[in-house]
Structure 1
């Protein structure tokens, strides 16, 4: 075996690069070779279903829309994030509150029925609606908003699978344009302030 230090440095470099590539393949939300969407390309009009009827985002122009993607079997992250949305709404002045709409979009349409989604969303706030659609419609809107979703088998659980997904608050201005995607670590105060600033900068017409 050679004790040439240069050779070992080269080998270590090759292994490090291989490890980085493997990590990228395992964790990226974008296939290798595919151009990632820029933020300004995300968002736009969408149509989904709720327990109260069909929802068209066009009908909610004039309001700040706060949208979160999740699923009902999500044990911690989704309820916690919805709690943040609910708490932020409670911090708003009445006039501002009347110009905000929350959406909880299920990325698990095979298990999440509309009545259960409605009950879940309304538990947090009357201004939040639970939405979903067919698998094709859900795939379309997650692609439209650049939301990472991946089904993960759970052989040792009573659940057949869980859903890994991006956890963000998507902010849509009163003109229907996506203007921000805030981290799930956002606090209620920060989210409420973002809603207020959005209405100030993009007043409802």
Structure 2
């Protein structure tokens, strides 16, 4: 191995090692007491407020499969991209199967995301996406129940942003977690994957 090749390979090997270590650390951090997280450990009872100001619980979405995504309305890129992908998927599912699947957009920023703001935000994507908010305690409980992650990150002055999980959860008709949905595919492929799982 030449010096030049060694200089290229060693940093790449170190990067891969770090990536693997980060993945292991994330699994151990998000997995209680080092045990595997079963599908039944994801989700559960919640009480929130929808974007029309009505109190809702998990029981309001029983009887039909649905998607769940955590985010916030001040999100600069990930959230609008995911919500656009979700809207495309819902259209494709409707076209292929005639089924109207709903999606729940749960804020991780309840301090700013009031029902009115959530309604204005989700209405620009799809009327089958329901914005959910609540008190900081209610939102924290849902984030924890879904084994998600959310953290406030201060910016200049009084401003802040939120780091958060970007998984799209597929939940079955009984509110049980099925799998994460890969929305970064062509809409027809996402729809096919979703329909195969519900």
TM-score under structure 2 length normalisation: 0.77
Task: Rate the CA distance shift 1:37–1:152 in 2: closer, same or farther, 3 A.
Answer: farther
Residue 89 of structure 1 and its aligned partner are, at CA, apart by 0.8
Task: Rate the CA distance shift 1:33–1:181 in 2: closer, same or farther, 3 A.
Answer: closer
Mapping of residues 1-205 of structure 1, within 5 Å: 28=26, 30=29, 34-35=33-34, 38-40=37-39, 41-52=41-52, 53-93=54-94, 96=97, 98-155=99-156, 160-183=159-182, 185-199=184-198
Q: For the residues of structure 2 that align with 1:33 and 1:193, how far apart are their CA atoms?
A: 33
Q: For the residues of structure 2 that align with 1:120 and 1:36, how far apart are their CA atoms?
A: 38
Query: Does structure 1 conserve the Cα–Cα contact (< 8 Å) formed by 2:69 and 2:167?
Result: yes
TM-score under structure 1 length normalisation: 0.74
Bigger radius of gyration among the two: 1
SS at match of 1:104: strand
Task: Rate the CA distance shift 1:96–1:160 in 2: closer, same or farther, 3 A.
Answer: same
Specify every segment of 5 or more residues in structure 1 that has no aligned partner in the other structure, as ranges: 1-15, 200-205
Greater Cα offset, 71-80 or 44-53: 44-53
| Alignment coverage as a number of residue pairs | 176
Query: Does structure 1 conserve the Cα–Cα contact (< 8 Å) formed by 2:115 and 2:132?
Result: yes
Instruction: Provide runs of 4+ in structure 1 moved above 6 Å.
Output: none
The CA RMSD measured in Å over matched residues stands at: 2.8
Which whole-Å deviations, capped at 9, do the CAs of 1:24-70 have from their partners, x for residues lacking one?
A: 5xx84828995366032111232210132112221222211111100
Q: For the residues of structure 1 that align with 2:35 and 2:108, how far apart are their CA atoms?
A: 21
Q: For the residues of structure 2 that align with 1:32 and 1:122, how far apart are their CA atoms?
A: 35
